[in-house]
Homo-oligomer: A and B are copies of this chain.
Amino acid sequence: MSDFNIETGTVTTPKDFLAAAVASGLKAEGLDLALVYSMVPAQAAAVFTVNKVQAAPVILSRKHVADGQARAIILNAGCANACTGDQGMADAKETAVLAARVLGVAAEEILVASTGVIGRPLQMAKLRQAIPEVNRLLSPHGGEMAASAIMTTDLVPKHFSLTLDLDGVAVHIGAMAKGSGMINPDMATMLCVITTDAAITSECLERALRRAVDKTLNRLTVDGEMSTNDSVFILANGAAGNTLMRTEDEHFATFTAALTQICLALTRAIAADGEGASKLFIVEVSGAKNEGEAHRAAKAIANSTLVKTAIFGRDPNWGRVVQAAGACGVDMDAARMSVDFAGMAVVRDGQPVPFDAEAMRSALAAGEVHAHMHLAAGPAGARVYSCDLTYDYIKINADYTS
């Protein structure tokens, strides 16, 4: 992958994008409604949660993005609008209609995303008032506010940008995400909005997005929970003026690499800012039968509460890595496996290797900890991004606040 310079721009860094945010009252306090808008028609693509229970905004947005066109994305925190039955679908539709009306576009050009409590209705009276307000505030400098408005228990807003050169034309990508944080009693929902001024067909845009997300946001796990609302949206408005990308040529490859890199930056930022997390935990699996099994083993290790608490406690307890991988059902050769924990060899060819436990404790104190397991069962590998499990995770999720 080419290396691009990741900067701290926003969804309004690409040309002809505006954004804004307001406090609608859906949350007890703070910004909770964001709008991202392309001043010109844009190609659009999205990927959504594969949870069997899907929130109304997910169902609606999937429909609206199906034609590869969209103009704006409206996102609220404070209510997931999930498990809300027929009323929930009516509310999601009304949200799109309200946004379309103030923007002067068709309702089908609006994508909708929600994060918050499951099973409670959207307070539409508040949205009816707030949507015209957020429209009035739209500006080319609104990206930062929009990134703040979608935060829940995230400690830091997450937004990045980069510039790529396509035959002398500067093309920009901007992105923002909210992570697996919750406002109690929220779900751990991941929402992500990416904007670009690249000229690209919607087919190519969707292909690029799927490839980028598959290697990055789909390799992210904070607590193994998959929300009813997870959504990643991308809008491409062509304002950069590059030659339209319409096939998988060199420009498409460069664009996909850039998109992957910005998604990776979001992935690392979300993992490091996971609920209660004290450090980023990166799991690498190699020697798997195929990539699916590599991914499954890496997720099993990253989601193991025993491994995660060991990482938190700086406990050189590498046996938990082996146990988690062995329990997840993937092919492995226990007599030939190898394991590195916090950068130190602990198993080679199935035999334990002596290591300096004090040195490992120091290594485990770093802000980023790596585990690597070689399954000795094939050629495939995968990497997963996660975090440790701490007292604060329990605190955030057990408080009596619903």
Contacts and interface: CB of A to CB of B under 8 A. Distances in A.
Given A119-B347, A334-B52, A322 B85 contact: no
A70 B52 CA distance: 48
A396 to B, nearest CB: 8
B394 A312 contact: yes
Given A305-B223, A315-B398, A398-B312, A118 B323 contact: yes
Interface in A264-286: none
Contacts of A324: 225
Interface in A306-346: 306, 309-310, 312-320, 322-327, 329-332, 334, 337, 346
Contacts of A184: 315, 317
Contact of A80 (B52, B319, B390, B400): B319
A105 interface: no
B397 A309 contact: yes
A8 interface: no
Contacts of A83: 319, 322, 334, 347, 350, 352
Contacts of A187: 306, 319-320, 323
Contacts of A317: 117-118, 184-185, 402
A82 interface: yes
Interface of A is mostly: loop
A38 interface: no
A167 interface: no
Contact of A53 (B305, B316, B323): B323
Nearest to A361: B400
A58 to B, nearest CB: 11
A54 B323 CA distance: 9
Contacts of A148: none
A326 B82 CA distance: 12
A216 to B, nearest CB: 20
A304 B397 CA distance: 12
Nearest to A117: B319
A114 interface: no
A166 interface: no
A184 to B, nearest CB: 7
A332 B83 CA distance: 14
B80 A398 contact: no
Contacts of A90: none
A168 to B, nearest CB: 46
Contact of A306 (B82, B391, B397): B397
A196 interface: no
Contacts of A390: 394, 398
Interface in A35-78: 51-54
A144 to B, nearest CB: 30
Nearest to A116: B319
A399 interface: yes
A85 B118 CA distance: 49
A119 B313 CA distance: 19
Contacts of A327: 51-52, 225-226
Given A226-B327, A305-B223, A306-B188, A315 B400 contact: yes
A128 interface: no
A312 B184 CA distance: 14
A52 B330 contact: yes
25 contacts: A52-B325, A52-B326, A53-B325, A53-B332, A82-B319, A82-B323, A83-B347, A84-B352, A117-B317, A184-B317, A185-B316, A185-B320, A223-B305, A225-B320, A226-B323, A228-B323, A305-B305, A305-B393, A306-B397, A312-B398, A313-B400, A315-B400, A391-B394, A393-B394, A394-B394
